[in-house]
Amino acid sequence: MSTQGESSESKGGAKKDFSTAILERKKSPNRLVVDEAVNDDNSVVAMHPSTMEKLQLFRGDTILIKGKKRKDTVCIALADDTCEESKIRMNKVVRSNLRVRLGDVVSVHQCPDVKYGKRVHILPLDDTIEGVTGDLFDAYLKPYFMEAYRPSLHLVCYKQIDIKKFVFLQVDLERISKDTHGYVGADLAALCTEAALQCIREKMDVIDLEDETIDAEILNSMAVTNEHFHTALGTSNPSALRETVVEVPNVSWEDIGGLENVKRELQETVQYPVEHPEKFEKFGMSPSKGVLFYGPPGCGKTLLAKAIANECQANFISVKGPELLTMWFGESEANVREIFDKARQSAPCVLFFDELDSIATQVLPSCSLYPALLRPGRLDQLIYIPLPDEDSRHQIFKACMRKSPVSKDVDLRALAKYTQGFSGADITEICQRACKYAIRENIEKDIEKERKRQENPDSMDEDIDDEVSEIKAAHFEESMKYARRSVSDADIRKYQTFAQTLQQSRGFGTEFRFPDAATGASGSDPFAASAGGADEDDLYS
């Protein structure tokens, strides 16, 4: 009977609770109140061990925290006995991501889909660190991987071994890492040092070297930027390539006038495989093995190679053909292998062989190439660089003078029309000679002005305008008196004949179309017309 009474009382109590339950707020163990974190860590939140046990969380588990305005973030859960059971400790950055303040309520959920890191790469910052003795790993790094189950907070580790904070947090390190091919740890340390020194050099005019201390305002204004690293990259080389002169070209497409079709083909052949490798992998295509430029001298073949290397952010190694030849047996082949090995070490690298037809004059006649070099898989793309036409010459004049002050009376179109048969190098020489005449006249005017000021000191305050501040038409007219063509008509015909012969031997220009449904049903052979008119001897010529 007592049992029944107790059960009835419990039932009555339950009914009483149900009647007032609507007035009480529903309590969930995963709804916690935000509290201030003890340690400043953006990736960690702290909860009481009993709270973690209710939520079935283990120390180091990844959790999903949901805040206001549908904001959520992922953090690592750690146990803290000093934290209240109904609260969760997080720092200011996590609260900002969740759009919550101290005292607000957030919900905690399990997030088991995040994978754990399996490998950690640790690179040395310096050869030695003052004040640190013994094994650096056991003393400072190992505690972060033993019974922690969370990401290592590198800034805390740096503070313990007395390494100052980084001053280049705004630098695009990912871009710099792509430009430092072949660099080892010591090379990267030297690069950072050179970038910091470049930053200091810019502030030398405001730093008083005689003072024992430097103003704090000047020190706070000093920060390493991308420009400092860009300057340092131009003066530093990998230690493995110090014996090799690896040029980093600064030629852009704007420096090359005309040749639009050639530029587009070079971009598709060289630049696209470097910048979009996933597209080539998707379509199952391997990049081209090599490109052959042929044509009259001075038409921009070397500039094109430098420009494409600059666009790809690649190193550039230029090799003259005769430089590979030696009198010793097997030495020439060893030189070729060494060049390719150095190019692989500095990859991505554009390897440019100039004067390729002069490597073996006994085997290769003038304006001819060994057929084995032109087989598919070796030199896939054959690009003929002809003499520029009128529009291309106009673009070359504009490219040469784009950094120079040119007077409005200079008609570049008239110059392009007059320079029929001139190569790009010839046009560049005309522009440089005109600039030289303008500089000479400007210097003479300055000397004359200084002489007049010395003769009449009272006129020193008078402001005399510079009469030669631009390159005028008279300078170009004087330059055209010495203009000359570097390629004769006979040489042009020779290159055109070679281009036509090469095109015919490789079968360029043949038209092919798939048969449509009607033609295929009739059983006609689409290759009959081409096969019937071709001889077997021509097939192997």
Measured between alpha carbons, how far is 541 from 531 in angstroms, rounded to an integer? 16
User: Is domain 31-110 classified as CATH 2.40.110.10?
Assistant: no
Q: Where in the chain is the domain with CATH 2.40.40.20?
A: 31-110
State pTM to two decimals.
Answer: 0.50
- At residue 353, the pLDDT reads 79
Structural tokens at position 278:
């996933």
Q: 124-131 — which CB contacts under 8 Å span 24+ positions?
A: 124/185, 125/163, 125/189, 126/189, 127/186, 129/161, 129/162, 129/163, 130/162, 131/161, 131/162
Measured between alpha carbons, how far is 244 from 342 in angstroms, rounded to an integer? 8
**Which single residue is written with the structure tokens 């190098």?**
425
Is the C-alpha dihedral spanning 187, 191, 192, 193 positive or negative? Answer: positive
Measured between alpha carbons, how far is 372 from 85 in angstroms, rounded to an integer? 79
Architecture in CATH for domain 173-241: Orthogonal Bundle (1.10)
CB atoms within 10 A of CB 48: 20
**8 A C-beta contact, residue 338 and residue 331:** no
**8 A C-beta contact, residue 269 and residue 288:** yes
- At residue 90, the pLDDT reads 93
- At residue 108, the pLDDT reads 92
- At residue 301, the pLDDT reads 82
Tell me the HSE value of 56 on the side-chain side, using a 13 A CA sphere.
4
Ranges of beta strands (E only) in 290-337 are: 291-294, 315-320
Q: Where in the chain is the domain with CATH 1.10.8.60?
A: 173-241, 390-456+467-486
Residues of the chain with pLDDT under 50: 1-15, 19, 21-23, 148-155, 158, 161, 163, 165, 167, 360-367, 521-541
Q: Which CATH class is domain 253-384?
A: alpha beta
Q: Which CATH class is domain 390-456+467-486?
A: mainly alpha
Tell me the HSE value of 303 on the side-chain side, using a 13 A CA sphere.
22
Measured between alpha carbons, how far is 268 from 381 in angstroms, rounded to an integer? 11
